[in-house]
A and B are shown apart, each in its own frame.
Chain A
């Protein structure tokens, strides 16, 4: 039983980790050109215009997998026009294995909003022919502006930001990251760290279901020092404001 569970969790983890360290790649299809949508499928514009709680149907491409649990998958997806976060989408373990980055899927579900995060809830999906991996779009200049939310859930990058103190350790010394939002966690939990630009400070997260403690990004954030200049990539998640889920960190010169 334990072996079965371990296998299940390990496979889920292995596929989830595919999203960590993801580099913006070229589309196997026409990069930057919107796909023609099938009959009855919404464009990104139509999806964004749809009312909350209404049924939505989108064709999109898996960018990263966050978790699989009790036959439900949480997945970051994106097409050439925008991103769709699929929360707790019905998914067998077998199908979850097929959701590699770039895989084209058609999702049918309901549009929801949870603490500011717009998402597809209670969805189901089918796998289609096609492949696309989004380039990370540099949204550094949009931080603190009302335009940032237009890129919600997209694969984005932040450049030239400075690591600030995230909190203090037991001895009262400033530290560059915290386990959990307030330091109440342990190794393996989400990492929280602060970065600044032009005098404004923002809190970024390494979401441990998306990128666990074995990933490069998790180790990289643990190695940060206050004052480091870094570039980052990740998904533009929202929780009561912007809360990027970072998938890679690179030191800048």
Chain B
């Protein structure tokens, strides 16, 4: 089993956010030391996430070993996770006791929550430009990319609240992995860019069965034509493509709107015919796709090595594999002339420590993760893309891309096509606004789809009253109402309502007293002049 099914959401974490998760005594804002003392010994911890992929673990270990060879006085202790949510949970737990890791793979949404602690996360812009130890610095013992060599879109995703709080580490997007063989068997031709209408139409066509209930397209008893892995991404991208509300930059919640209503109704309609399901309800899209039981499987490009008949990684037994041609396409669009897709993938942040020299050691290691050696090796494990132009343009990486399909391991065609998909669409990617609680909003977006799909499958009516209740329940479950108030207060827009009577009495009393004092002063001045 490649992954544990339990999903760590922002539910409890958001409650921590609302009650504050400040370090016990807080930390002073990080100030870079005059000199980095390389004569001292340092021991830093690195919390990393891998996709339950042995090669990725090996690359982390090699990166640490190579770094320690360059800096023998810095020891890096690796702690591996397979779930971003678990890292998020553990970081918040450790903020409370000032026992955070030094360096941590994370998402900007999560960093926004970490920032509710006192100076917990190090702003990086001063370090970026340090002439000795900054990006491309003169005193580094490795070839670090310059600031200009980090892909600007990816770097900007790490900027919020007026600072850069992370460096991008890897980038991915979502792809639609398509059983092209079945699409054509159904009489359709795959377009260059998928539309939602096309996917729904083909999915419904795939539901045709014979008298025994066997699906005509695959000759099996099971067929879920369209399965979406991450329903939070599904809702976010649909809303973006429709130019509908999700949130403002400052954290106003716009998710519950009429476009969301329409989208849920459409999803519900195709759930009713069993043409659509989700990972949380049915299982991994890859397993259904590879068994010939799914035609459109939407998952991360970082899951490409699990997709297709010849996928190097598989969770299903060989006897269940079905041979078909796999197409790798951008996610479906509402407007094919303006495709939009989410940018995702891990970033790296540095946690503040009382010892500024220790932070400098963390900064060196963080930069090392952006060297070509690490970037190219890690990106090749999945449909990831390196985050530096320095890596993109180097001969080794170009050679890798050019060998697409040469074998089903290092050069597995689906994986390299997934990486190329993002490279060709960097300008069509977007990210959602980052603010304290944005991780909860993301979960809520997915919850709307999951709840609607479950309701339809269970024979419930998803008419107007259902949607109203769903929105209210979701807002309450993810504490979005409280988050909105908090973010308004933080941005100075809070409506605090009428003043209490006691406060008004006090203010009027003060005003009266000052008036009397002023009158007295004027009377004294007039009398003195006389």
Chain A residues at the B interface, C-beta cutoff of 8 Å: 1-2, 5, 53-55, 67, 69-70, 74, 87, 110, 112-116, 122, 170, 180-186, 189-190, 205, 209, 239-241, 243
Contact = CB atoms under 8 A, between A and B. Distances in A.
A182 B94 contact: no
B9 A185 contact: no
Count chain A CB atoms within 10 A of each CB in B6, B58, B282, B459 and give the residue with the most. Answer: B6
A2 B93 contact: yes
Given A2-B94, A53-B458, A122-B454, A182 B52 contact: yes
Contacts of B282: 113-115
Given A182-B53, A184-B54, A239-B315, A1 B16 contact: yes
A181 B52 contact: yes
A1 B283 contact: no
Contact of B317 (A184, A209, A240): A240
Contacts of A69: 6, 8
21 contacts: A5-B93, A53-B457, A53-B458, A69-B6, A114-B282, A122-B454, A184-B50, A184-B52, A184-B53, A184-B54, A184-B56, A184-B82, A185-B82, A186-B79, A186-B80, A189-B80, A190-B1, A209-B6, A239-B1, A240-B1, A241-B316
Given A67-B6, A70-B11, A1 B21 contact: yes
B94 A185 contact: no
Contacts of B2: 181-182
A30 B227 CA distance: 45
Contacts, number: 87
Contacts of B53: 182, 184
Interface in B3-40: 4-6, 8-9, 11-12, 16, 21
Contacts of B165: none
A227 to B, nearest CB: 24
Count chain B CB atoms within 10 A of each CB in A74, A110, A182 and give the residue with the most. Answer: A182
B9 A70 contact: yes
A112 B80 contact: no
The 4 tightest CB contacts between A and B, nearest first, are A1-B96, A115-B283, A184-B54, A53-B457
Nearest to B90: A5
Interface in B92-135: 93-94, 96-97, 99
Contacts of B6: 67, 69, 74, 209
Contact of A2 (B50, B80, B96, B315): B96
B76 to A, nearest CB: 15
A55 B4 contact: no
Contacts of B79: 186
Given A1-B21, A70-B9, A243 B97 contact: no
B57 interface: yes
Count chain A CB atoms within 10 A of each CB in B54, B281, B282 and give the residue with the most. Answer: B54
B525 to A, nearest CB: 60
B287 interface: yes
Contacts of B454: 53, 110, 122
B351 to A, nearest CB: 15
Contacts of A116: 283
B284 interface: yes
A contacts with B: majority SS: loop
A240 B52 contact: no
Contacts of A186: 79-80
Contacts of A110: 454, 458
A181 B1 contact: yes
B308 to A, nearest CB: 17
A42 to B, nearest CB: 16
Contacts of B54: 180, 182-184
Contacts of B9: 70
B382 to A, nearest CB: 13
A205 B6 CA distance: 16
A185 B58 CA distance: 11
B17 to A, nearest CB: 12
Contacts of B16: 1
Given A53-B458, A205-B1, A209-B4, A115 B317 contact: no
Given A182-B54, A186-B79, A240 B316 contact: yes
A115 B6 CA distance: 14
A117 to B, nearest CB: 9
Contacts of B457: 53
A186 B61 CA distance: 12
Nearest to B79: A186
Contact of B287 (A55, A115, A170): A115
Contacts of A170: 58
Contacts of B11: 70
Given A112-B281, A115-B283, A180-B52, 14 more contacts: A1-B97, A5-B93, A55-B458, A74-B6, A87-B5, A170-B58, A180-B54, A182-B52, A184-B54, A184-B82, A186-B79, A190-B4, A240-B315, A243-B1
B440 to A, nearest CB: 12
Interface string B388-414: 000000000000000000000000000
B363 to A, nearest CB: 25
A115 B282 CA distance: 6
A186 B80 CA distance: 7
Nearest to A208: B4
Interface in B261-286: 281-284
A115 B52 contact: no
A241 B21 CA distance: 43
Nearest to B99: A2
